């Protein structure tokens, strides 16, 4: 598998499938050993990773489901309560609020993020000096600690922060962006997009770089308009990268935590409370680990569903043959 | 056009010149435009830095300026002493370096098994690994916390480092690279009687320094920036990593924005250095996918 040309290695089903049925490269072993395979050696190499994998991923995943059936305080002994946490959850108005907030966040954030990333990465393919440098610039906030990023935005967006005093010089009275429920979620989304779209610029740039120049040249010679070139050549050719960025960005979006936690503490009211923030609070502030685990499993199911839907939908628009 | 070039090169040359100049002007105009956008884009960092140098009572002002009535470099030393910020940075590096090392060891050994050895259920097991790539880690924090608590590891470095070193991504990435290396090299070494580990160490790994550095950089950044897990599992200031330490700032004596921005600047600097030094690895890693989307 040519690694360098497949930014969608994880996302494309093709990447997974051959791994499963195509035998990985084999080292010929002496005839006598052939039947046994490399069982013991393999065990030695795999043991550290696999132990950790089971202990820190598989067990907690199942454990999360088990814990969700208990009333489980941080300290003290748990009591089995069956599906009571789930029943409570479906009767909890805050659950619906955080679910809705998270869904709105995820879709708006992913859409704006991809649109911007696509725009910027297309811009970077035009005649530019230092295009590599600009690409890195847009990537900076994706590397700096999210908590620091969010604190800077909290300062700039606060009631008498920079944004409002700039608006003031134009005679516009700015809103209290972070404590007005009409704007708070928008502020969280804006900050998040600023922080992360540089990731996708790089992925999409790699996709764009993979388009053979001759194809674009040929279409230019044929007199195709820039829009048609984008619509009928560029987008289909980078559709695997687009699909990959869309899927990963969406998965990431459902995990949003730091931005609302630092910018708005989920407020005002519950207007920027998100799924993971609510999960964190239930588990580690309100002392309800069982309830938090029920939330975690719902999150898991929602993310899996959305990812599955995206994979199902990719057949309609993602083009893997090159 | 092409026939022109062949028959009358000189005339074409003179005709091309203004066009070329026009292209050059266009290129520079385009560059200037993106420079402006980039400046606006990075403005939050610029504002952070200038705020860090202001006296506290000038942070909010109706007519904002970059430089206040005095340039207070002292804010940086105040931020450094108000909370043990040096300690946070040390913790951040300590945890991130050990975490990255552990992640690499695990990934290399597992990837070797998955790409070079034959054993029962290999491909099914690998598929299980791949499936967990889309698992949100937040789903795991509650049981992980309970495990750490039972093991008496709450509020320790081990709790920060160990649980997140076993994610499938490193294994997945390294396996992809192992598969690109032809077997001939190893066969020769194995036939010469080198052990498998020797082959891995001195034949395979030297060819994989690029992907190894990609994995190292991204593991490091993942650990360095992690916030939710340290927030859950660390109670004492002495063990706080940088993001956790920064968030502690809000609690100390109300919010002093100038000091907070000084601290944010200190927190951001290591990341900026990493980007400046290792941009090639970073770009490669992101382009390969899998690190995106946090």
Question: Which pLDDT value is given to residue B15?
Answer: 54
Interface of B with A in 253-282 (CB under 8 A): 257, 260-261, 264, 267-268, 271-272, 274-275, 279, 282
pLDDT one-digit tens code per residue, B104-154? 999 999 988 888 888 888 888 888 888 888 888 889 999 999 999 999 999
**Mean pLDDT across the stretch B74-100?**
89
Specify if B67 maps to a domain.
no
Specify if B121 maps to a domain.
yes
| A24 with B179: Cβ contact below 8 A | yes
Question: Which pLDDT value is given to residue A258?
Answer: 93
The predicted complex's ipTM stands at: 0.86
CA distance B128 to A178: 42
CB atoms within 10 A of CB A62: 11
Q: Which residues of B touch A304 (CB under 8 A)?
A: 134
**Minimal-distance CA residue of chain B relative to A66:** B143
Question: Which pLDDT value is given to residue A61?
Answer: 92
Question: Which pLDDT value is given to residue B16?
Answer: 59
Q: How far is the CA of A180 from the CAs of A66, A98, A268, A271, in angstroms?
A: 39, 17, 7, 9
**Domain range for residue B14?**
2-52
Question: Which pLDDT value is given to residue B289?
Answer: 56
Whether residues B43 and B110 share a domain: the answer is no
Question: Which pLDDT value is given to residue B60?
Answer: 79
| B44 with A28: Cβ contact below 8 A | no
Specify if B44 maps to a domain.
yes
Those residues of chain A that have pLDDT short of 50 are: 1-25, 29-35
Query: Which residue out of B142, B184, B259, B265 would a mutagenesis test of the A interface target, given it has the greatest number of A Cβ atoms within 10 Å?
Result: B142
Q: Which residues of A touch B242 (CB under 8 A)?
A: 145, 147
Whether residues B28 and B79 share a domain: the answer is no
Question: Which pLDDT value is given to residue B67?
Answer: 79
How many structural domains are present in chain B?
Answer: 2
Question: Which pLDDT value is given to residue A260?
Answer: 94
| A67 with B106: Cβ contact below 8 A | no
Nearest neighbour of B288 by CB, restricted to A3, A128, A152? A3
Nearest neighbour of A138 by CB, restricted to B41, B133, B196? B41
Q: Count of A–B CB contacts within 8 Å?
A: 340
Whether residues B95 and B208 share a domain: the answer is yes
Whether residues B127 and B264 share a domain: the answer is yes
Whether residues B47 and B153 share a domain: the answer is no
Nearest neighbour of A152 by CB, restricted to B48, B180, B196? B48
pLDDT one-digit tens code per residue, B176-232? 888 888 888 778 878 887 788 888 888 888 888 888 888 888 889 899 999 999 999
Q: How far is the CA of B225 from the CAs of A140, A240, A250, B222, B291, in angstroms?
A: 13, 29, 20, 6, 13
Question: Which pLDDT value is given to residue B41?
Answer: 94
CATH number of the structural domain spanning residue B161: 1.10.3720.10
Specify if B240 maps to a domain.
yes
Specify if B261 maps to a domain.
yes
Question: Which pLDDT value is given to residue A36?
Answer: 54
| A146 with B123: Cβ contact below 8 A | no
Interface of B with A in 82-101 (CB under 8 A): none
Whether residues B95 and B178 share a domain: the answer is yes
Which has more pLDDT, A295 or B282? A295
Whether residues B87 and B221 share a domain: the answer is yes
**Minimal-distance CA residue of chain A relative to B283:** A202
Q: Which residues of A touch B107 (CB under 8 A)?
A: 49
| Interface membership of B77 toward A (CB under 8 Å) | no
Question: Is the pLDDT confidence value at B97 over 60?
Answer: yes
Which has more pLDDT, B59 or B245? B245
| B147 with A60: Cβ contact below 8 A | yes
Question: Is the pLDDT confidence value at B156 over 70?
Answer: yes
Whether residues B43 and B114 share a domain: the answer is no
Whether residues B17 and B143 share a domain: the answer is no
| A199 with B293: Cβ contact below 8 A | yes
Question: Which pLDDT value is given to residue A64?
Answer: 93
pLDDT one-digit tens code per residue, A120-145? 999 998 888 888 889 889 989 998 99
Question: Which pLDDT value is given to residue A217?
Answer: 84
Specify if B45 maps to a domain.
yes
Q: Which residues of A touch B261 (CB under 8 A)?
A: 151-152, 155
| B138 with A46: Cβ contact below 8 A | no
Query: Could you give all domains of chain A from N- to C-terminal order, each with its CATH number?
Result: 29-67 (no CATH), 85-317 (1.10.3720.10)
Specify if B69 maps to a domain.
no
What does A200-233 look like in DSSP terms, one character per residue? HHHHHHHHHHTS-HHHHHHHHHTT--HHHHIIII
| B243 with A26: Cβ contact below 8 A | no
Question: Is the pLDDT confidence value at B92 over 80?
Answer: yes
Question: Is the pLDDT confidence value at B9 over 70?
Answer: no
Which pair of structure tokens corresponds to residue B243? 């993001």
| B122 with A24: Cβ contact below 8 A | yes
CB proximity list for B251: less than 8 A, separation 6 or greater = none
Question: Which pLDDT value is given to residue A76?
Answer: 80
Specify if B277 maps to a domain.
yes
pLDDT one-digit tens code per residue, A257-299? 999 999 988 888 898 999 999 999 999 999 899 999 999 999 9
Whether residues B38 and B146 share a domain: the answer is no
Phi, psi dihedrals of residue A118, rounded to the nearest 5°: -65, -45
CB proximity list for A261: less than 8 A, separation 6 or greater = A150, A277, A280
Whether residues B44 and B103 share a domain: the answer is no
Whether residues B83 and B167 share a domain: the answer is yes
Q: Where are the alpha helices (DSSP H) in A146-288?
A: 146-157, 162-169, 184-209, 213-221, 226-229, 235-237, 239-254, 258-263, 275-284
Q: What is the mean pLDDT of chain B?
A: 83
């Amino acid at each position: 598998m040519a690694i360098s040309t497949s930014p969608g290695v994880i996302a494309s089903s093709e990447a997974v499938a051959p791994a499963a049925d195509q035998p990985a490269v084999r080292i010929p072993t002496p005839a006598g050993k052939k039947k046994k395979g490399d069982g013991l050696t393999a065990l030695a190499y795999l043991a550290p990773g696999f132990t950790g994998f089971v202990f820190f991923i598989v067990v907690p995943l199942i454990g999360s489901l088990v814990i969700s059936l208990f009333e489980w305080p941080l300290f003290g002994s748990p009591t089995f309560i069956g599906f009571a946490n789930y029943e409570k959850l479906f009767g909890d108005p805050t659950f619906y609020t955080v679910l809705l907030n998270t869904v709105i966040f995820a879709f708006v954030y992913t859409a704006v993020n991809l649109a911007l990333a696509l725009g910027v990465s297309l811009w970077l393919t035009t005649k530019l000096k230092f295009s590599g440098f600009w690409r890195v610039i847009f990537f900076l906030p994706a590397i700096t600690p999210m908590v620091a990023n969010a604190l800077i935005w909290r300062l700039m967006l606060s009631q008498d922060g920079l944004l409002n005093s700039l608006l003031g010089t134009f005679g516009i009275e700015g809103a209290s962006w972070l404590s007005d429920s009409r704007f708070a979620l928008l502020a969280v989304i804006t900050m998040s997009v600023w922080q992360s779209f540089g990731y996708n610029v790089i992925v999409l740039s790699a996709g764009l770089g993979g388009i053979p120049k001759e194809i674009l040249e040929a279409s230019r010679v044929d007199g195709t308009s820039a829009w048609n070139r984008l619509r009928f050549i560029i987008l289909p050719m980078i559709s695997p990268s687009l699909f990959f960025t869309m899927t990963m960005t969406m998965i990431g979006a459902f995990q949003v935590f730091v931005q609302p936690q630092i910018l708005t503490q989920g407020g005002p009211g519950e207007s920027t409370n998100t799924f993971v923030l609510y999960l964190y609070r239930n588990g580690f502030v309100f002392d309800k680990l069982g309830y938090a685990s029920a939330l975690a499993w719902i999150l898991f199911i929602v993310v899996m569903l959305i990812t599955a839907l995206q994979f199902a939908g990719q057949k309609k628009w993602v083009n893997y043959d090159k | 056009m092409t026939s022109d070039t062949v028959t009358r090169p000189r005339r074409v040359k003179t005709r091309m010149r203004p066009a070329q100049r026009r292209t050059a002007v266009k290129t520079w105009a385009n560059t200037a435009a993106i420079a402006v956008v980039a400046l606006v884009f990075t403005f939050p960092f610029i504002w952070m830095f200038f705020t860090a140098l202001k006296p506290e009572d000038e942070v909010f002002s109706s007519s904002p300026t970059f430089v206040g009535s005095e340039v207070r470099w002292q804010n940086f030393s105040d931020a450094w002493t108000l909370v043990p910020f040096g300690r946070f940075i040390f913790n951040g590096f300590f945890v991130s370096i050990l975490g990255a090392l552990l992640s690499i060891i695990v990934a290399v050994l597992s990837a070797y098994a998955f790409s070079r050895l034959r054993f029962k259920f290999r491909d099914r097991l690998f598929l299980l690994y791949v499936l967990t790539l889309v698992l949100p880690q937040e789903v795991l924090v509650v049981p992980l916390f309970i495990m750490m608590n039972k093991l008496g590891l709450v509020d320790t470095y081990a709790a920060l480092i160990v649980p997140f070193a076993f994610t499938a991504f490193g294994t997945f990435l390294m396996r992809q690279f192992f598969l690109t290396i032809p077997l001939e090299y190893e066969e020769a070494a194995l036939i010469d009687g080198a052990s498998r580990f020797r082959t891995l160490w001195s034949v395979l790994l030297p060819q994989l320094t690029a992907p190894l550095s990609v994995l190292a950089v991204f593991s490091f950044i993942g650990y360095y920036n992690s916030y939710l897990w340290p927030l859950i599992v660390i109670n004492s200031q002495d063990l706080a990593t940088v993001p956790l330490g920064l968030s502690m700032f809000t609690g100390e004596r109300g919010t002093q924005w100038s000091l907070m921005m000084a601290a944010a600047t200190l927190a951001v600097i290591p990341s900026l250095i990493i980007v400046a030094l290792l941009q090639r690895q970073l770009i490669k890693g992101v382009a390969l996918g899998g690190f995106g989307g946090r």
